[in-house]
Structure 1
Amino acid sequence: MTRSTVEICCTDRYPFRINGRDTKVEKTFWFTKKGDEFDLRTESEYAGRVQYSCNKKSCTLRITDLRESDSAEYKFRFITNQPAGSFTGSPGVTLSVTDADLQVQVSRSQYSNWAMLQCHSRCRLPDRPSYVWYKNGQMIQAETSSSYSVSFGSADSYSCAVKGLEDFPSPSVYAPKLLSVSVSPPADLMEGSSVNLTCSCDANPAANYTWYKRNKNKYLSKEPQLVFRSIQSSDSGEYYCTAENKLGRGTFEYIINVKYAPKTSSVSVSPSAEIVEGSSVTLTCSSDANPAATYTWYKENQTLPYGPGSIYNFTSISSEDRGKYYCKSENQYGQINSTSPFLDVRYAPKLSSVSVSPSGQIVEGSSVTLTCSSDANPAANYTWYKENQTLPYGPCSIYNFTSISSEDRGKYYCKSENQYGQINSTSLFLDVQYAPKLPSVSASPSGQIVEGSSVTLTCSSDANPAANYTWYKENEDSPKASAQIFTITHTRAEHRGNYYCEAQNSRGSTNSTLHLTVVAVFPGAWKSAVVGTAPAAFLAIIWLSVFLIIRQMRASTQSSEPGGRPDNREQCLPNQSEQQDDIHYASIHFPKNQTDPVYSNIRAGPRRHKEEEEVVEYAAVKFNSGSTANVSMPTR
């Protein structure tokens, strides 16, 4: 009968220093499989039965509860910190294990909760031998049959011996225990890498293994190893393996946590409905990552001054916050940018203004376009105004003059309006340039101009830019004046005639004519003069004539009054015919609707000598007016 424990020892030698670098042993282990240098401690069939005892120069392998399957060539390997510093002892140690003469065989019905143990020997035994049964190494029954019934799932171990040969018991049988899972490679599990999970336990008879994933009804593998050739984040989760023999079942759970770069990153907006300026808005970045990602926020590719949190909050959002936002999710395995939602902030119109095209000088008759613009969301509707008067135009942002005129000159502005508010633009003065209109000319004083007096001629015209004025006299080449006002301080007969004023600017010129009438006056007599048609001139002439007549009559009366001072001057007496006073009357006639000029014939006789009798001829005046009047005045 074989022993149940074996020890295999190996010694090693290596240089303590290579190329100035101290040698350090980093790993030691035993293995059996040719080409697959797996540490025996990770092999399921050796689980709980292998121990190492190593120092600087040697390492001992101890295997307990030997089995026939333990027969193999055992090798020792150590790995140092030196380049190519891995060494394996060759050849190894060959171990041969044979079955024990006495064994416990286990049988169990599929539907029974009891297992039947049968003590069996390969050697010839005496007739009707007695058996001794052991539980956990303690005798439980002596001198009994070769069979023994136990409960399925018991954690106890059982063995047997032939009565009288108690020193040579059978190997123990027991349900699976000391269940464990090893992972290769043992480091962090990165997405895309190859990963092996190995389930192992201590069991006799040997256990059968099955792999499951929690919440999955289907098994994954019926082998001790669960292999992921390219593990993915979706493989993360809780796994468990079962090890089962005819005495019981053991279960071991293992959580796979694949570490991977962020993916499927996205940004959500709250509230998801319409966003109005001044409201509170929260952006949330989320991604699938292991370990959890840190976040960086961006607007239109500009980094936002915010921490690594997944939430970006606007306590009072403004129109300037409108735009595209996204976040970057990042961990040590990589990074990814999220989708880019557009944050559409609604707000009332602001920064309203009016522009004009063309932007230079505007000339009458040209095409001119006014454009109203404002910052608003949604887009504003527009109302146009000129000098606070609403213009009959639609809600468009453009106001067009196909042929602008001087009447269109003035201040314009627009009102921008949407459902969130309204604002008026700044005013724009539209300065329309045009040639001078027909000038208006006048004379002061108006009507007839007495020779020797002063007269002022004035010219004015509507023009933009302001007109320059030049006065001309008909049939004369040189101008009389280059000003709006032309004054003749001492009129003479040659000043009578037609004068015209020319108004001109950079856009053109035009002129108007004025007729100036000058009345000539000579000593002792009135010449014929053209008198204006104004009634005031008529009345002035009438009263002047009446004044002269009355004055003459008073002078005659005073000379004939008694008591008067005698005239001692020498007198020339007229003859009889001259002494007779013949009185003639002047007739004044005012015909209706007379437009012809009114003439005044006034003749005054010269004074010969102080002593001579004054001879006066009275004026005969004819007026044309709206009524007829006869005035009789004595003449001498």
Structure 2
Amino acid sequence: MFELNSKKAFKMLISALTIMGTIISVKSWPCASPIRKVYSRENSDVVLRFSADFSNLNSPRLFDINFYDDSIKARITYNPDKTSTTDALPGVSITGDTAGNVVVTLANVQQSNAGVYTLASAGLSTKCNCLYILGTPRKPTVTVNKTPSVGESVTLTCSSTSTTIPSNHSLSLTYSWRVDNTDNPGGAKYTYTPSKDKLTVNNIEKEDANKQFTCTATEDVTGGYTSSRSDTSSFDVYYGPDNVAFSPSDTSYEKDENESLNQVTCSASCYPTCSFTWTKTETGRIVSNSALLNLGRLQSSDAGTYRCTATRTGGEPQSKDLTVNVICKY
């Protein structure tokens, strides 16, 4: 029986294998489908499983366990009666049963151990395991699709990427949200995509602008790691004009001719800030393009109704009227 004295000895052996005059190269052996995928955290023991081919087993048949780095650290020889003998270097164990189930255990794997492991025998198809070493997903980022207005919906997206190697693992990420101090709030207010990468906040209210959103990402596999928490995100809410009001709050004045009317300020609840115009309704004439109405010393022609209109881009204008009655003393 061949003794596993060193990695170098194994490489020399495999390089020397000749079948029908052709040198067999480890790297050129194709993997028979399917390739078994094995996922593990670092510092864990990993079990690789292979199926030995017993077809035409008329003499002892050697199977080599070829590692990710093309080294051979374990082997099993099956006899025609399907009994077997095994050899392995330290840190590796190998067993095989009479059904051809070969189990290879690797102790305390590290990221550097990730890659393809094969069970190979000259002239037979190669069976493969791909070992993936799990990593922590990168810290997520949160993006918002728009600045919503009251009554609309807004969608926040949590994005992260895997650090598991090799990178062809095709594992997906699932996400978890925290809104203020509540994890994954539900109800009609909050809806999610199946993986929770997108959170939609429905029927937006002004108060939603004060909420804090964070998320985490978890790799969707047994033993998958969870990322650190994203930075806090929030969004503005467009609203208004609402609650048009005057300061002073009076909506009707009666003044003598030549008497002054103190300045009146028009206000409204808006985000972003509203713009204001004052219009004399009887003539349609704009008397002020600001929130301030300042008529000064009144004349009889100043009598009438003055309308303050608050406007915001994307919002419905809102108005409020102020009446001025001027008394003539003739």
TM-score under structure 2 normalisation? 0.52
1:328–1:335 Cα contact (<8 Å) kept: no
SS state at 1:341 partner:
strand
Q: Deviations over 1:360-380 (max 9, x none)?
A: 453444343333344579955
Deviation at 1:439? 1.6
Q: Deviations over 1:270-302 (max 9, x none)?
A: xxx98335x3667999999x99989673xxxxx
Cα 1:341/1:330, change in 2 over 3 Å? closer
Cα 1:285/1:479, change in 2 over 3 Å? same
Deviation at 1:496? 3.8
2:44–2:107 Cα contact (<8 Å) kept: yes
> What residue is the counterpart of 2:7 in the other structure?
none
Deviation at 1:467? 1.9
Q: Deviations over 1:89-141 (max 9, x none)?
A: xxxxxxxxxxxxxxxxxxxxxxxxxxxxxxxxxxxxxxxxxxxxxxxxxxxxx
Matches within 5 A, 1:40-189: none
Q: Deviations over 1:311-337 (max 9, x none)?
A: 69998846xx89x72147999x89975
1:413 maps onto 2:218 in alignment: no
Cα 1:480/1:276, change in 2 over 3 Å? same
> What residue is the counterpart of 2:234 in the other structure?
429
| Matching residue within 289, 309, 313 for 2:71 | 309
Deviation at 1:444? 8.3
Separation in 1, partners of 2:40, 2:63:
30
> What residue is the counterpart of 1:464 in the other structure?
271
> What residue is the counterpart of 1:481 in the other structure?
288
Cα 1:495/1:390, change in 2 over 3 Å? farther
> What residue is the counterpart of 1:355 in the other structure?
143
Q: Read off the aligned partner of 1:462 and give its amino acid letter.
A: S
SS state at 2:241 partner:
coil
> What residue is the counterpart of 1:384 in the other structure?
178
Q: Read off the aligned partner of 1:425 and give its amino acid letter.
A: S
Deviation at 1:434? 4.2
> What residue is the counterpart of 1:275 in the other structure?
40
Q: Deviations over 1:477-518 (max 9, x none)?
A: 111111122223333344343211111222231211123455
- How many equivalent pairs are there? 246
Matches within 5 A, 1:205-216: none
Matches within 5 A, 1:560-575: none
Separation in 2, partners of 1:477, 1:339:
84
Separation in 2, partners of 1:274, 1:329:
18
| Matching residue within 353, 357, 369 for 2:155 | 369
Matches within 5 A, 1:466-615: 466-507=273-314, 508-516=316-324
Range with greater deviation from structure 2 (477-486 or 412-421): 412-421
Q: Read off the aligned partner of 1:384 and give its amino acid letter.
A: R
Cα 1:464/1:496, change in 2 over 3 Å? same
2:48–2:129 Cα contact (<8 Å) kept: no
Matches within 5 A, 1:321-340: 325-327=115-117, 338-340=127-129
Separation in 2, partners of 1:474, 1:326:
82
Cα 1:415/1:361, change in 2 over 3 Å? closer
Deviation at 1:471? 0.3
Deviation at 1:469? 0.9
SS state at 2:141 partner:
strand
Q: Which runs of 5+ in 2 are unaligned?
A: 1-15, 32-37, 54-60, 74-90, 92-105, 163-170
Separation in 2, partners of 1:516, 1:384:
54
1:454–1:487 Cα contact (<8 Å) kept: yes
| Matching residue within 125, 130, 134 for 1:345 | 134
Cα 1:437/1:190, change in 2 over 3 Å? closer
Separation in 2, partners of 1:368, 1:510:
25
Cα 1:472/1:282, change in 2 over 3 Å? same
1:284–1:310 Cα contact (<8 Å) kept: no
Determine which structure has greater relative contact order: mean sequence separation of CA pairs < 8 Å that are 6+ residues apart, divided by chain length.
2
Cα 1:489/1:367, change in 2 over 3 Å? same
> What residue is the counterpart of 1:627 in the other structure?
none
Separation in 2, partners of 1:317, 1:515:
82
Q: Read off the aligned partner of 2:310 and give its amino acid letter.
A: A
Deviation at 1:406? 4.0
SS state at 2:277 partner:
strand
Separation in 1, partners of 2:206, 2:232:
18
SS state at 1:469 partner:
strand
Q: Deviations over 1:144-190 (max 9, x none)?
A: xxxxxxxxxxxxxxxxxxxxxxxxxxxxxxxxxxxxxxxxxxxx995
1:262–1:330 Cα contact (<8 Å) kept: no
2:46–2:109 Cα contact (<8 Å) kept: no
Separation in 2, partners of 1:460, 1:391:
38
Separation in 1, partners of 2:107, 2:235:
43
SS state at 1:515 partner:
strand
> What residue is the counterpart of 2:199 in the other structure?
399
Q: Read off the aligned partner of 1:343 and give its amino acid letter.
A: Y
Q: Deviations over 1:366-412 (max 9, x none)?
A: 343333344579955624315x6777428952433444344433454
Cα 1:438/1:189, change in 2 over 3 Å? closer
TM-score under structure 1 normalisation? 0.30
CA RMSD of aligned residues (A): 5.4
Larger Rg: 1
Separation in 1, partners of 2:110, 2:205:
47
Separation in 2, partners of 1:280, 1:464:
55
> What residue is the counterpart of 1:82 in the other structure?
none
Cα 1:494/1:436, change in 2 over 3 Å? same
Q: Which runs of 5+ in 1 are unaligned?
A: 1-187, 194-258, 267-272, 298-305, 528-636
